[in-house]
A and B are shown apart, each in its own frame.
Chain A
Amino acid sequence: MDWKKCWKFGTKTIVATALGAAIFLVLNMFVKVPTGIPETQVQTCYGVCAFFAALFGPISGALIAFIGHALGDAISYGSVWWSWVIASGVAGCIYGFAYAKLNVDEGVFTGKDIVFFNVVQIIGNVIAWIVVAPVLDIVIYSEPTNLVFTQGAVACICNVVSAGVIGTLLLFIYAKTRSTKGSLKKED
C-alpha cells in the first residue's frame, strides 16, 4: 500500500480528471443500459469513473464523478440534485483508494488485484448509495425514508455491476497495453 501517491495532484492528474469528467458526462447523458425494471439503468459512467479512479487516485475519482454528475444534472435538468451528486463524489473518491495498491500503469493487474479492486468498489458503492445518498436526501430534501433507501439499494446494485464489469475489463485491457517493468532483457 502506498498512500502517499494517492494525494498527488499534478498536471497529468488534472488533465485526466478533466477528460474523465467529460467522458463521464457524455456516458451519463447518452449511454445507459436498461435493466428491465422501470426507471433503473446501469450507468456505464460509473464503470469508467472506477477505471480512471484506479489509475489516477481518489482526488481525481471524486472530482470526475462530482463534476460529471453536477454538470450532467445542470445541463439536462437545469438544477442539481445535490445529495446524489455528493454521493457520486464519495463513490468516486473511495474507488480511488484502489490506486494505493494497484500498479496498472506498469502493466500489472493480477487476479489478486482484480479481487482487491472489486472489494474497494463494492465498499465505495455501498457507502455512497446506501448511506450517503439516502441520508442526504432525507436531511436536505425530506424525502420519504422507504423510497430513498429503495432507490439507493437499486442504484448501488447497478453501479456495482457497472464498476465491476466495465471497470475491471477496462483495467484488464489497459494493463495489457502497458509494458511491464523489466520486460526487456539484455541479450546474452
Chain B
Amino acid sequence: MNTKLFDYVERHNFIYDLSGVTKFLCFMIAGAAVMFTYDIRVMVVVFVVSIIAFLLSQITFKQIRLMVIYVAIFIAMNVILTFLFSPQYGVEIYGTKHVIFELTERYTLTWEQVMYQGSKVMKYLAIIPLGMIFILATHPSEMASSMNRIGIPYKATYALALTLRYFPDVIRDYQDISVAQQARGLDMSHKEKFTKRLKNILNICIPLIFTTLDRIELISNAMDLRSFGMHKKRTWYCAKKLNAKDYLALFICIALLALSIYMIIFVNHSRFYNPFT
C-alpha cells in the first residue's frame, strides 16, 4: 500500500509559485472548457496547454506513475464498456455511417464511433495534467484557503483542510489495525468468500472508526477552546497574494473557456464537431 500518493515536494518554478487560488481556478475553468464541448480540436488545444504547464511544473514521472496506471485502466475499461453497450452511438450522434469493418450487425466499427470515443478519451486526458498539478504542486495547507477565497464558506473548506491533515494519520491507523488483525489470522485476500470478507473488513472498520470517534472529541474540544467559528470570516496562515503570473495563468484558462464556448455557439452550433457532413 502506497501512503505516499500525496507527495508534496517543495519546488520553485512558474507553476509552483502560483497561488493556490490560481491553480484551483485554472483546474476548474479549464475543466469547464472541456466538460461540455465534444469538439476534439478544442480538447487538443486544452491538452497541449495543460501538457506544457505540466512540463513547466517539473513534476517527475515517479510521482505520477501510479496515477498513470489507474488512468490507463480506467480509460481502457470505459472504451470497452462504451463499445459493448452502444457500438452505434456515434452513428446516432453524427447522423452518418462510414463503416470500417463489420464483426456482426450490431458490432460494426464505424468512423463515427471512433470519433465519438476518441473525443471522449481526449476529453478525459485533456484535463488530467492540470488535475495532477493542482494535487501535487499545491501546498496542502493552501488548498483550503484558496477555496475559501473564491467564496466557499470557511467551515466547509476547514473540513477539507482537516481531511488533508488527518488523511495520513487515518492511513497509518488503518495499516496498524489491518496488520494486527492479519497477525491474528484474519484473511483479507480474495481467497475468502464474499460474506466472510465483508465480516473481516468490519473487524478492521470497527476499531478504525472508534479510534476516529475518540479523536473527533479531542480535536473538536481543542478547536472549541480556541474559539473556532466565533466570527463570520477568518484569516489563513497559508495564503499567497495574486501577482502578474497568476493573472497570466488565469487569462490563458479563461481564453480556453471562451474558445470552447465560441466553438459551441458560433462554429459547430452544437456540442459536437461533425467532420462527416
- Point out the residues of chain A lying under 8 angstroms from B206, CB to CB: 170, 173
- Point out the residues of chain A lying under 8 angstroms from B161, CB to CB: 18
User: Is A11 positioned at the interface, with any CB of B under 8 Å from its CB?
Assistant: yes
User: Are the C-beta atoms of B220 and A77 separated by less than 8 Å?
Assistant: no
- Point out the residues of chain A lying under 8 angstroms from B210, CB to CB: 174, 177
Minimum CB distance partner of B116 in chain A: A142
- Point out the residues of chain B lying under 8 angstroms from A169, CB to CB: 202
- How distant is B203 from chain A, measured CB to nearest CB, in Å? 11
State the CA gap A14–B219 with chains docked (Å): 10
B192-233 interface (Cβ within 8 A of A): 194, 197-198, 201-202, 204-206, 208-210, 212-213, 215-217, 219-220, 223-224, 228-229
State the CA gap A82–B31 with chains docked (Å): 10
Minimum CB distance partner of B217 in chain A: A12
User: Are the C-beta atoms of A63 and B156 separated by less than 8 Å?
Assistant: yes
* Stretch from A95-103, A117-125, A143-151 that touches the partner: A143-151
User: Is B47 positioned at the interface, with any CB of A under 8 Å from its CB?
Assistant: no
**Binary flags per residue of B243-254, CB closer than 8 Å to A gives 1, else 0:** 000000000000
**Binary flags per residue of B1-17, CB closer than 8 Å to A gives 1, else 0:** 10001100000000000
- How distant is A50 from chain B, measured CB to nearest CB, in Å? 12
B29-84 interface (Cβ within 8 A of A): 31, 35-36, 38, 64, 66-67, 70-71, 74, 77, 81-82
User: Is B236 positioned at the interface, with any CB of A under 8 Å from its CB?
Assistant: no
- How distant is A185 from chain B, measured CB to nearest CB, in Å? 27
State the CA gap A140–B213 with chains docked (Å): 37
- How distant is B156 from chain A, measured CB to nearest CB, in Å? 6
Q: Which of B155, B162, B197 contacts A33 (CB 8 A)?
A: B197
- How distant is A18 from chain B, measured CB to nearest CB, in Å? 3
Q: Which of B165, B202, B215, B229 contacts A10 (CB 8 A)?
A: B229
User: Is A16 positioned at the interface, with any CB of B under 8 Å from its CB?
Assistant: yes
User: Are the C-beta atoms of A51 and B220 separated by less than 8 Å?
Assistant: no
- Point out the residues of chain B lying under 8 angstroms from A140, CB to CB: 35-36
User: Is B134 positioned at the interface, with any CB of A under 8 Å from its CB?
Assistant: yes
State the CA gap A20–B66 with chains docked (Å): 25
- How distant is B196 from chain A, measured CB to nearest CB, in Å? 10
User: Are the C-beta atoms of B36 and A22 separated by less than 8 Å?
Assistant: no
User: Are the C-beta atoms of B85 and A150 separated by less than 8 Å?
Assistant: yes
User: Is B268 positioned at the interface, with any CB of A under 8 Å from its CB?
Assistant: no
User: Is A67 positioned at the interface, with any CB of B under 8 Å from its CB?
Assistant: yes
User: Are the C-beta atoms of B166 and A80 separated by less than 8 Å?
Assistant: no
- Point out the residues of chain B lying under 8 angstroms from A22, CB to CB: 162-163, 166-167, 169-170
- Point out the residues of chain B lying under 8 angstroms from A173, CB to CB: 206
A64-103 interface (Cβ within 8 A of B): 67-68, 71, 74-80, 82
State the CA gap A56–B174 with chains docked (Å): 22
- How distant is B209 from chain A, measured CB to nearest CB, in Å? 6
User: Is A156 positioned at the interface, with any CB of B under 8 Å from its CB?
Assistant: no
User: Is B123 positioned at the interface, with any CB of A under 8 Å from its CB?
Assistant: yes
- Point out the residues of chain A lying under 8 angstroms from B89, CB to CB: 144
State the CA gap A17–B161 with chains docked (Å): 11
* Stretch from B100-108, B124-132, B256-264 that touches the partner: B124-132
- Shortest 6 CB-CB contacts between residues of A and residues of B: A18-B162, A144-B86, A147-B85, A79-B131, A78-B131, A12-B220
* Given A78-B67, A169-B202: 19 more A-B contacts, CB < 8 Å: A15-B162, A18-B160, A18-B163, A19-B166, A19-B216, A19-B219, A22-B162, A22-B167, A23-B208, A25-B170, A67-B160, A67-B163, A68-B163, A74-B134, A76-B66, A77-B128, A78-B129, A82-B31, A166-B198
Which residues of A line the B interface, CB within 8 A? 9-12, 14-23, 25-27, 29-31, 33-36, 39, 42, 44, 47-48, 51, 63, 67-68, 71, 74-80, 82, 140-147, 150-151, 165-166, 169-170, 173-174, 177
Return 10 A-B CB contacts under 8 Å, by A number. A15-B216, A21-B159, A22-B166, A23-B212, A76-B70, A77-B71, A78-B64, A142-B93, A169-B202, A174-B213
